[in-house]
Structure 1
Amino acid sequence: MDAPARQDGGVSERIEQTVQDVPTPAGDARVHWHLAPHARLVLALGHGAGGGVEARDLRALAAALPSDGVSVALVEQPWRVAGRKVAPAPSALDAAWRAVWPALTAPGVPVVAGGRSAGARVACRTAAGLGAAAVLALSFPLHPPGRPERSRADELTGAGVPVLVVQGARDPFGRPEEFPPGAEPVVVPHGDHGFAVPKKADVTQEEALDVITHAVGMWLKAV
């Protein structure tokens, strides 16, 4: 279906939204396309282990970026499509992501892989092998809450492509100051793992999401 027309510099352009089911070894995945009228990039985003493509940061990017020439593909893993509540092992997530990749490259423009939380880990682990142009890691789970010794920093540093990390200032899975040199995150003030901000914070929820969309948009211009 088509989204409402948006105004950009006085020119009205309609952002097309489509849904595509893609077979994988674990069952069908579902790609929710938010298509730029004249795409120069595809940003493919996977969701976390505790939620789906309705996450606030994924929705904000899908709404903001197509008007700037970036088609956004929100990838729903097969376990979510099937209605299951528990994510499978990382190897199964990676296999499904690899199976979806040809659909993501079909538009014929460079693809930036990414996702939030577990989806960010999948993107990091598979980026180099799939030929991703870069990786966007939203709320990267650097370690389990309260277990900093179980660091996953090697997934970021070993991605083999440029990586942008966007992290909430109070994310229990890894605060911004815990990240290694070279992976310093864009900080979302007061944000938790879902980028939610307290009502008493000195930034609104909308302003917090604007930090994300602006930082990602500027970074993608360089990509």
Structure 2
Amino acid sequence: MNAAAQQLTITVSDSNAVSALLLWPAEARAVYVFAHGAGAGMTHPSMEAIAAGLAERGIATLRYQFPYMEKGSKRPDPPAIAQATVRAAVAEAARHCGRLPLFAGGKSFGGRMTSQAQAKVPLPGVRGLMFLGFPLHAAGKPSSERAEHLSDVKIPMLFLQGTRDALAELDLLEPVVKGLGARATLHLVQEADHSFHVLKRSGRNDGDVMAEVLDAFAAWVVRHS
């Protein structure tokens, strides 16, 4: 990687502005606008690793905070505020990287808020959504209700999910993805949990898993750019 991340400020509304980091590698072929999970912000090591790994694969990234995280709160924003932040971040990426194919999504909560925004009113210019651990349900409370809005998403979707993900039991997730038809792709990461951690007995480490995840995303981007 031959560039440092550029610090940006994104105006969401008159009362909300959030921080963002734009990482644009040389010869970037696409840009991924991605949001963090509910419990950790855009500078969490996992978010840093995703941005750096995608840069090595020729994909620029714009990662950003939700307002609650910007303010140091632990309570996630209401969906309307989160979705407005997604829209503002996508618009910011388009301003900076307008010539590049645009993709959006995020980790867990961030991915779900992005999909909700897309389902309500399509995000301008976004060619596809990529979810790093879609949170289908709360841990220990299996349900598919959180996926109901996905039927209103009409662009390609990539679900990257660990087979030990406690927030997406496979017997529920697989029918959801199948029901979305050809526009949805499920890539299962063997032995990984919701954060893509693997047990030592798997014979792999977290670095191996992240390489698999990012390779799968990069290949998917090539197909949909």
TM-score by length of 2: 0.85
Please state how far the C-alpha of 1:221 moved relative to its aligned partner: 1.0
- Taking the aligned partners of 2:218 and 2:190, their CA distance within structure 1 comes to 18
Corresponding residue SS for 1:23: strand
Please state how far the C-alpha of 1:177 moved relative to its aligned partner: 4.0
Please state how far the C-alpha of 1:198 moved relative to its aligned partner: 2.1
Corresponding residue SS for 2:21: strand
Residue matched to 1:145? 139
Corresponding residue SS for 1:53: coil
Q: Which residue, out of 43, 49, 60, partners 1:71?
A: 60
Corresponding residue SS for 1:164: strand
CA spacing shift, 1:196–1:56, aligned 2, 3 Å:
farther
Note if contact 1:117-1:137 (Cα within 8 Å) is conserved in structure 2. yes
- Taking the aligned partners of 2:150 and 2:44, their CA distance within structure 1 comes to 22
Q: Which residue, out of 125, 148, 152, partners 1:154?
A: 148
Note if contact 1:56-1:194 (Cα within 8 Å) is conserved in structure 2. no
Larger displacement relative to structure 2 (122-131 or 54-63): 54-63
- Taking the aligned partners of 1:57 and 1:112, their CA distance within structure 2 comes to 19
Residue matched to 1:80? 69
Q: Which residue, out of 111, 127, 140, partners 2:102?
A: 111
Q: Which residue, out of 167, 189, 197, partners 2:161?
A: 167
Corresponding residue SS for 2:211: helix
Residue matched to 2:28? 39
- Taking the aligned partners of 1:55 and 1:201, their CA distance within structure 2 comes to 25
The number of aligned residues is 211
Residue matched to 2:113? 122
Please state how far the C-alpha of 1:55 moved relative to its aligned partner: 4.4
Residue matched to 2:8? 20
Note if contact 2:157-2:185 (Cα within 8 Å) is conserved in structure 1. no
- Taking the aligned partners of 2:185 and 2:90, their CA distance within structure 1 comes to 27
Corresponding residue SS for 1:206: helix
Corresponding residue SS for 2:200: coil
- Taking the aligned partners of 1:61 and 1:219, their CA distance within structure 2 comes to 15
Counterpart residue identity of residue 20, structure 1: L
Q: Which residue, out of 83, 97, 100, partners 2:86?
A: 97
Please state how far the C-alpha of 1:165 moved relative to its aligned partner: 0.3
Note if contact 1:42-1:112 (Cα within 8 Å) is conserved in structure 2. yes
Superimposed CA distance per residue, residues 38-74 of structure 1 (whole angstroms, 9 cap, x where no aligned partner):
2231101101111112445433321122233311111
Note if contact 2:36-2:108 (Cα within 8 Å) is conserved in structure 1. yes
Computed over aligned residues only, the root mean square deviation of the Cα atoms, in angstroms, reads 1.9
Please list every run of 5 or more consecutive structure 1 residues that lacks an aligned counterpart in the other structure.
Answer: 1-5, 7-13
Corresponding residue SS for 1:112: strand
